């Protein structure tokens, strides 16, 4: 993918209000990956939530498919400065998945197949802000983009939307994830340009 000159996008220039500061618009969907891509068959796939008390909740792929799905259109903002607007995803809201989970934890550490982790406050997973997404633009989510299922939490930089999501650990104390422990911002709000620690 080449460098996109903001001048070629007219009203959607870097100064346009629909883009957070420092971002440029891209039409394609760059694949970022910090390691090998796991090929998780859906019949072996499992999503778990483990609470601060150690209580474990688990969903098989069939369990996930049986839950009410939502289709949402959201903008994606990657910390490497590209943004992609108006992407459509289908998934199950974390409100649905966490509805009957007994917890008072404030923090979540998200785990992926392949060992990736990322942290965020539990409140950012709730109130229609986060999904376990399994379709992108109406198609099954490709492994390169995190399939069979990824976390989608589009109001934060995209590294928080963990590909190949496997589970969520609910914690009383904040625990930094893969990039958060290597210089990236703990929260990662694109509109406040929280890229690196100290931003």
Partner 1 sequence: MTPFHGPYDDGDYADGNALAGPLREIFAVDLTAASGRCAHCGAEGPVALLRVYAHAPGLVARCPSCTEVVMRLVRGPNSAWLDLRGATSIRIPLGVE
Which letter does DSSP use for residue 188 in this model? -
Task: Give yes or no for residue 182 binding partner 1 (CB under 8 A).
Answer: yes
Give the residue, chosen from 21, 31, 62, 63, that forms a contact with partner 1 under the rule CB under 8 A: 31
Residue environment code for 157-195, b if the CB has 16+ CB neighbours within 10 A, otherwise e: bbbbbbbbbbbbbbbeeeeebbbbeeebbebbbbeebbb
Count of residues in the chain: 199
Contacting residue, 77, 84, 111, 163, with partner 1 by CB under 8 A = 111
**CB of 3 or CB of 138, closer to partner 1:** 3
Stretch that binds partner 1, among 30-38, 51-59, 63-71, 130-138 (CB under 8 A): 30-38
Using alpha carbons, select from 150, 132, 44 the residue that is nearest to residue 96: 132
Peptide bond into 56 cis (omega under 30): no
How many residues line the site for partner 1 (CB under 8 A)? 29
Residues 114-143, interacting with partner 1 (CB under 8 A): 114-115, 143
What is the binding site for partner 1 (CB under 8 A)? 30-40, 79-80, 111, 113-115, 143, 159, 166-167, 179, 181-184, 195-197
């Amino acid at each position: 993918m080449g460098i996109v000159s903001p001048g070629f996008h007219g009203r959607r220039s870097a100064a346009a209000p629909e883009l957070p500061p420092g971002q440029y618009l891209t039409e394609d969907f760059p694949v970022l990956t910090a390691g090998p891509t796991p090929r998780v068959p859906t019949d072996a796939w499992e999503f778990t939530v483990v609470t601060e008390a150690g209580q474990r909740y688990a969903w098989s792929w069939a369990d996930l498919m049986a839950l009410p799905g939502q289709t949402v259109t959201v903008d994606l903002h990657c910390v490497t400065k590209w943004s992609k607007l108006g992407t459509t995803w289908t998934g199950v809201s974390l409100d649905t998945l966490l509805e009957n989970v007994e917890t008072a934890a404030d923090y979540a550490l998200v785990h992926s197949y392949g060992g990736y982790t990322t942290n965020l406050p539990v409140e950012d997973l709730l109130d229609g802000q986060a999904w376990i997404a399994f379709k992108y633009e109406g198609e099954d989510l490709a492994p390169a983009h995190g399939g069979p299922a990824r976390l989608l939490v589009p109001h934060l930089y995209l590294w928080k939307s963990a590909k190949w999501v496997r589970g969520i650990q609910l914690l009383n104390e904040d625990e930094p994830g893969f990039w958060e422990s290597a210089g990236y911002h703990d929260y990662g709000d694109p509109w406040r340009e929280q890229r690196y620690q100290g931003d």
